[in-house]
Amino acid sequence: MHSLGLAKPARDCRVVVAMSGGVDSAVTAALLVEEGFDVVGITLQLYDHGAARGRKGACCAGQDIHDAARVAERLGIPHYVLDYESRFRKEVIEDFAEAYRRGETPIPCIRCNQRVKFRDLLGTARDLGASALATGHYVRRLIGPDGPELHRARDAARDQSYFLFATTRAELDFLRFPLGELAKGETRALARRFGLAVADKPDSQDICFVPQGSYVRLVEQLRPEAGRPGDIVDMAGRVLGHHRGIAHFTVGQRKGLGIAAAEPLHVLRLDPEERRVVVGPRAALAETRLSLGEVNWLGPSATPGMAVAAKLRSTQLPVGARFFPGGTNADAVLVLDAPAGAVAPGQAAVLYDGERVLGGGWIRR
C-alpha cells in the first residue's frame, strides 16, 4: 500500500491508530499491520458508556469500545481505552451548549478533532514513542514543496476535509490518513478480506454525545437560558409570535416557526440577549461579507483579496470568494462573489484551492 512516508522501515516504526470502533479505523489498523508497522490501537471513551451502550449511531462509547477491542484482538495488536470523558465534556460538550446560548450553530466534530483527538491523543501517541498517529478520516495528506498539505479525499462523497480545517501544520507533520485514496465500498471490501467483524457496521450518525438526537434537551440542561421563551419578530421588530428558546433555531431555518405569513419566512438572526428570533424573507439572508475568527492557515502565505473556494457548510458546494487575512487580534474577512443564503454563525468557512485545503475559520455573529 504505502509506507506512510516515514524515514525508518515499517518494522521499526510504531504507529498509534485512533480506533473509534467503526469500519474505517479498523481497516486503517489492519492495513498498517499488513504493512508490518508496530501498531497500537487507542480508543477514547468520551462520554458515559452506560447511556450509550447499544445505541445505534453512537461512537466512542459502550458498544464501540467493545468492537474496537475485538478488532484489535483479531489483528493481534495491543489496545488501550483512555478515559477522556472530563476533557471531552469541557472542550466539546460545554462548548457546544455555550455556542447555542450565544445564538450560534456549532460543529462539535471539528472541536473534537481540534481539541481532543489531534491535540490530546496526538500527545499521548508521542508519549508512547510513536512515529505517527493514523486515523480513518477520508482526507489526503500530500507532500508539497513546503511540506505536508491537506487535500480532499479521492472519494468526494466521503471527503471529511471540512471537519479537519483546524488541523495545524505541526499536527499534520505527525498525522497520517491511509484511507484518503479509497472509496467507502473499497474500505468495506478490505474489512471483509481482513475478516473484521465491523465490515458491515453502519456509519455513526448525528452528534455522538446526544441521546436520541435531542440536542435541545442537552443544551437546556447545561445552558438553561437557551431554553427560555421569547418573541419571534420581523426585521422591523414587530412581534409575530413566540418561541420556546433560541436553542431550537438556526439561521436559514424555515420549518417549525409556527407563524402564518403571506410568504415563507426564514430565521435571519438570533438575538440571545433579548431572547428574540428575527425572521424575514429568503432574500434577506443574502450575505456577501463574513467575519472569520480563529483562522487556521495551511496554505502558502495569504495575500489580501486572494481568490478562494469557500465551503460554508459541510453539505454545501464551495462558492467563489476573496479572503482578507486579519491582523493581530482582528478577525479575517471573507467576501463572497455572490450572496450565499443561510450563513450561520458558529459554522466553519473552509477555504480551498482546487483539492487543497488552504485553511478556514469560524463564522462570527
Catalytic residue among 59, 60, 109, 112: 112
**Among residues 104, 122, 231, 230, which one has the least CA distance to residue 172?**
122
> 323 pairs with which residues across the strands?
306, 334
For the question of residue 60 being annotated catalytic, the response is no
Catalytic residue among 13, 59, 60, 208: 208
For the question of residue 208 being annotated catalytic, the response is yes
- Return phi, psi of residue 307, to 5°: -75, 135
- Inter-CA distances, 147 with 140, 198, 300, 336, Å: 13, 35, 11, 29
Strands (DSSP E) along the chain, which ranges? 14-18, 38-45, 79-83, 132-134, 139-144, 147-152, 175-176, 230-233, 239-243, 266-271, 276-280, 287-297, 306-311, 319-324, 332-340, 348-353, 356-363
Amino acid at 57: G
DSSP letter, residue 106:
-
> 151 pairs with which residues across the strands?
140, 356
| CB contact set of 149 (below 8 Å; sequence gap of 6+) | 141, 142, 143, 172, 298, 356, 357
- Inter-CA distances, 328 with 110, 293, 294, 348, Å: 24, 12, 11, 20
Return the active site residues: 112, 208
